[in-house]
């Protein structure tokens, strides 16, 4: 809701008939013909969601730079993408079904087809292939899990000699770990 009674709320539309919208649980009901609203094409992200990641370097030239990708978090397995040419959100179903992501999940884009992520503080690493919409294992990191923290502490970087590493900080902000992911 954007104005009048019910302003600054989000509610799930549970029914849409020819002349009425019915909302799920909201705290203050909107006033008919007085409350303005916007219908969003994507549900709100939850704890452990990723920021918007611009997929600028995918191997498919037709989609290079077209999408912003986001993990929804909130203990869901969903990834969504925003098509910047149409300004519309799209569900990005992945195969096989992935892990639920919540507090402690971290993300890093490799500048190509992969968005790496951790499953909270389980030490499990994965990547979603943005072009194929598949989830693949990317190994584990060899330290005790620690305590989940909010915030992204993961990055992909390249060295001068052409090595590419996935760099991440263990839960509890203890130590960092790097894993070689590719070389040129």
109-135 pLDDT, tens digit per residue, is: 999 999 999 888 888 889 999 999 999
What is the extent of the structural domain holding 126?
A: 53-183
User: Are 148 and 83 contained in the same domain?
Assistant: yes
Judge residue 103's burial from the number of C-beta atoms within 10 Å of its C-beta, 0-12 exposed, 13-18 middle, 19 or more buried: middle
Is 98 found in the same domain as 35?
Answer: no
- The share of the chain scoring above pLDDT 70, in percent, equals 88
In this prediction, residues 77-83 reach a mean pLDDT of 87
47 part of a folded domain = no
Same domain, 13 and 64: no
Asked if residue 45 is part of any domain, the answer here is no
- Residue 184 above 60 pLDDT? no
Q: Is the pLDDT of residue 5 over 80?
A: no
pLDDT at 21: 78
For residues 59 and 35, membership in a common domain is answered with no
pLDDT top residue among 129 and 74: 129
25 and 60 fall within a common domain: no
Question: Can you tell me the mean pLDDT for 137-154?
Answer: 81
34: in domain: yes
For residue 47, pLDDT over 90 is answered with no
CA 139, CA 127: separation in Å to the nearest integer? 10
Question: Is pLDDT at 40 greater than 70 in this prediction?
Answer: no
pLDDT interval class at 43 (50, 70, 90)? low
Q: How sure is the predictor about 72, in pLDDT bands with cuts at 50, 70 and 90? A: confident
Number of domains in the chain: 2
pLDDT band at 64 (very low <50, low <70, confident <90, very high): very high
pLDDT at site 8: 66
**Has residue 96 got a pLDDT over 90?**
no
The answer to the question of residue 48 being in a domain is no
The confidence band for 38, taking pLDDT boundaries of 50, 70 and 90, is: confident
Q: Give the model's pLDDT for residue 128.
A: 93
Please give the mean pLDDT across all residues of the chain.
Answer: 83
């Amino acid at each position: 809701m954007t104005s009048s009674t019910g302003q600054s709320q989000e509610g799930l539309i549970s029914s849409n008939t020819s002349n009425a919208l019915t909302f799920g649980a909201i705290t203050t009901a909107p006033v008919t013909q007085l409350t303005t609203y916007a219908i969003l094409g994507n549900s709100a992200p939850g704890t452990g969601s990723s920021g918007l990641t611009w997929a600028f370097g995918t191997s498919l030239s037709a989609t290079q730079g077209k999408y912003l990708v986001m993990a929804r978090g909130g203990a869901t397995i969903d990834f969504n993408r925003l098509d910047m040419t149409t300004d519309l959100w799209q569900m990005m179903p992945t195969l096989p079904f992935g892990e639920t992501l919540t507090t402690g999940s971290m993300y890093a884009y490799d500048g190509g087809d992969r968005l790496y992520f951790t499953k909270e503080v389980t030490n499990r690493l994965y990547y979603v292939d943005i072009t194929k919409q598949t989830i693949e294992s990317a190994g584990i990191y060899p330290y005790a899990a620690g305590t989940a923290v909010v915030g992204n502490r993961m990055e992909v970087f390249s060295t001068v000699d052409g090595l590419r590493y996935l760099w991440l900080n263990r839960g509890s902000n203890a130590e960092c770990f790097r894993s070689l992911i590719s070389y040129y």
